Amino acid sequence: MTRQGRTDFRPARKPGIEGLSADEVALRVEGHLTNLVANSSSRSAWDIIRSNVLTLFNAIVAASFLLLMLLGQWRDALFGFAAVSNALIGVVQEYKAKKSLDNLAVLTDPRARVVRAGVVQEIGVGSVVLDDILVLRAGDQAPADAVVIDETGLEVDESLLTGESDAVQKGVGTEVLSGSSIVTGQGRARVSGVGAQSYASRLTAEAKRFSLVQSEIRQALNRILRWITFALVPIMAIVINGQMQGQGGWRQAISTGSWQNASVGAVASVIAMIPLGLVLMTSVAFAVGAVRLARQKVLIQELAAVEGLARVDVLCLDKTGTLTAGRIVFDSVHDIGEPPPPGWEQVLGWFGADPNANATARCLEANFPDDGTLRPLSSVPFSSARKWSAVSFPSGTSVAGTWVLGAPEIVLTAGTAATDRALGAASVLAATGLRTLVLAHTDVTASTVEGNEAVLPPVPVPLVLLTFREKVRPDAAETLSYFSDQGVKVKIISGDDPRTVAAVAREVGVVFDGGFDARQLPQDPEELADIMERQTVFGRVTPAQKKEMVQALQRRGHVVAMTGDGVNDALALKESDLGIAMDSAAAATKAVSQLVLLDGRFDRLPGVVAEGRRVIANIERVSMLFLTKTAYAVLLSVTFGALLWGFPFLPRQLSATDGITIGIPAFFLALMPNAARYHAGFLKRSLSFAIPAGLIICLAVLSINALSLAGGYGSGTPVRTMSVVVLTLIALWVLVVLSRPLNMWRVLIIGAMYAALTLVVTVPPIQEFFDLTALAGEQIAAPAAIAFLGCFAIELLFRHHRRRMKAVLAAPA
């Protein structure tokens, strides 16, 4: 058998606990038994070139270009150079975005710990080989399939594999699947499966892939392109027949050679229908947005996520690591009545020094140093699902019995004077924003804290309350104020006590009625959605509930962004419309997020949202320009073909009008600031303006040609010149209305385009190149009058369209 062209190889000797030697690793690498897979963080250069060059429309453009060159009409083949320029711009911009993403993706590459030659090493996931000994700790993501060889309280979250958020305990001999996340405890496991079949490798490759995924805007654009593709063949038949008939019929056109002129007109009409720059501008806008965000230390893992940035109307925040700095510090010890028995400080030192301790417990180590003398019988590491940890010491020692450290309302049961006193004091402390734990004790050295089923020992007695505090990020209040001003609702979701979460929320300026205990959330989806609409701050939220809360908001039509940094946030991040991971996030959390804040600065989010809105609002504006041009091109082609009139433009003339009214201004408009929030319904909004606008332009051009045929305004070059003037003036007014609100830069761009039109129709060398002529008398008055009426109609259409869209957006869903 062969593997990737090499002989399949598996060393017979399995490593001991000391791990593989350097020679054994080299043998496995030679045998292709590594975890390395094709895992580029972005599209290849060939993919970028293919998507920008090898398209149906480019094939039509190329065929038309070659036809005109063979006919010697090189001046009418200018659109070919424009198409090449468009493709080059698209390739360059996307390649720049690719390089930026590749460079940034290195910063988020997951790492793995392995034992080799008796030494723990940290290596890239791709460097893991078969039979490596993995060292697994809380927060890690298993990089490959592995079998546990020893463990201490090892619990694994397999939600990314099974969708079930409950932690699964892993004993010796059980399998840890790649992609699963270590929730608590630690252990070592021998790698049993590597390479392309590794789930983690597939997940990471998919999450980091430079992808232009199916968003509403992309789906709409693809639908438009399909419509145009289907319409091209019948419209081309109508146009070509009309051109031939305009030359006296097919037989005469072929016999006299006038078919060449008819072919030029047919090419002009076909090229006019193709929105050459529409997909280009969309890709460029997305790519430039990704590069701009990269400069702000924001990694966009999926470019179409930019659309999500613009549409977000609910932001769900995990308190720890987002609103707060993510660092827990010990605050104080609070007595609750009787003085605690001797040895309690020593036990706290053990909890703080425990390798399996969570971040809160580790804070104890500085204030309660561990002397290393305690030898426990058994222990239960902290679990976010249990919200407590425990340790048992043997009889005859100063700390005999079982000690429990955890959330007071979980560890204690009301009913005795001591527990009631402790719960009351804990409630008061939690309401001040302090994280509160209780240290409780029972004389029983219970077997219930051992094995696979961790159960609280019976009736633990509270001894002291311990408080911890988190430092609120200095930028949190200002950032949340921005979202409030932008109409984005904020939901603070945390696993902490709701009173603690509420205190932090008040500190950052969030207005709400009170913290909601997620343990009281209903099971009914509609009732849950009602509560999510009304409430703002939630505490004691489980990982599964975070996912359900996101889904409830989405059922009510909201576009939801979710921030987080913990493994317990991964499900909700994956379910949300836009997952945002902090820099401190676990590998599993980053893998399912569309955005990663590489420097962990929460105040990056306003800039992220602003960039998304700029990109999408400008894409919609530019799309209306291109779709208006496509609409009038199709209408002109069909109308003139049906009337058997010669097409009123040469390809070179349409190249000039396209550049003046769309190509040049669209490029600048796509990159300008725009704070408008995006709303669903992009295609309907765009077409409801573009089709009537295209009809107005078509009627105007048809009118000037009808007047010319009726007599008095000339024929041939003069009528083409008048057609160019009418079309360009009205199309420029389309540019004016779609550029509102106007500012200095937009006025300069529009003014430059009017100046360009003036040069085209008045400067003799340019006139000659584009086959135009100077107009005089009624040849000026008639197109001016028709253009004025057309611009007036466009103005009325725009105002009506804007009022109608505002009414639609204001109407209740």
Q: What are the per-10-residue average pLDDT scores of the chain (813 residues)?
A: 35 60 89 69 66 68 70 62 65 64 52 89 86 87 88 74 61 84 84 72 45 59 76 75 68 68 64 68 74 80 69 84 75 88 92 82 87 86 79 88 92 88 90 85 67 73 90 84 87 83 83 82 91 90 86 91 75 82 69 77 81 80 87 86 79 82 83 69 86 95 88 75 94 93 90 94 89 83 93 95 80 55
The reply to whether 572 falls in a domain is no
Where a domain ends, among 411, 433, 463?
A: 463
State residue 213's pLDDT score: 40
Where a domain ends, among 398, 431, 463?
A: 463
Residue 318 known to be catalytic: yes
The Cα–Cα gap between 136 and 142 comes to 7
The reply to whether 400 falls in a domain is yes
The reply to whether 674 falls in a domain is yes
Q: Which candidate in 76, 145, 313, 318 is catalytic? A: 318
Do both 225 and 142 map to the same domain?
no
CATH number at residue 415: 3.40.1110.10
The Cα–Cα gap between 781 and 783 comes to 6
Reduce the DSSP state of residue 40 to 3 states and report it.
coil
How many other CB atoms are there within 10 angstroms of residue 10's CB atom?
10
The verdict on whether omega for the bond into residue 741 sits within 30 degrees of 0, i.e. cis, is yes
The reply to whether 510 falls in a domain is no
Helices (H), 71-198: 78-105, 159-162
Do both 220 and 188 map to the same domain?
no
Do both 119 and 225 map to the same domain?
no
The kind and range of the H/E element at 521 are none
Where a domain ends, among 420, 444, 463?
A: 463
Do both 229 and 335 map to the same domain?
no
Residues in a beta bridge with 580 = 563, 595
Do both 670 and 788 map to the same domain?
yes
Do both 372 and 224 map to the same domain?
no
Q: What domain range is 412 assigned to?
A: 330-463
Question: How would DSSP label each residue in 716-776?
Answer: SHHHHHHHHHHHHHHHHHHHHHHTPSP-HHHHHHHHHHHHHHHHHHHSHHHHHHTT-----
Predicted model pTM: 0.60
Name residue 215's amino acid.
S
Do both 1 and 122 map to the same domain?
yes
**What's 143's DSSP letter?**
-
Do both 41 and 17 map to the same domain?
yes
Reduce the DSSP state of residue 324 to 3 states and report it.
strand
* The 578-582 sheet, strands edge to edge: 298-300, 595-597, 578-582, 560-564, 314-318, 489-493, 537-539, 516-517
The reply to whether 416 falls in a domain is yes
How many other CB atoms are there within 10 angstroms of residue 803's CB atom?
10
The reply to whether 633 falls in a domain is yes
The kind and range of the H/E element at 273 are helix 259-273
Residues 6 or more apart from 356 whose CB is under 8 A from it? 138, 152, 153, 184, 185, 186, 379, 381, 382, 389
State residue 205's pLDDT score: 46
How many other CB atoms are there within 10 angstroms of residue 605's CB atom?
26
The Cα–Cα gap between 154 and 175 comes to 12
The reply to whether 46 falls in a domain is yes
Number of domains forming the structure of the chain: 3
Helices (H), 297-343: 305-311
Do both 146 and 220 map to the same domain?
no
The Cα–Cα gap between 606 and 484 comes to 11
Do both 143 and 224 map to the same domain?
no
Residues 6 or more apart from 750 whose CB is under 8 A from it? 665, 732, 735, 736, 739, 742
Helices (H), 374-416: 408-411
The reply to whether 339 falls in a domain is yes
Do both 231 and 267 map to the same domain?
yes
Nearest partner of 420 among 534, 319, 337, judged by Cα:
337
What does the radius of gyration of the chain's CA atoms come to, in whole angstroms? 34
Do both 225 and 195 map to the same domain?
no
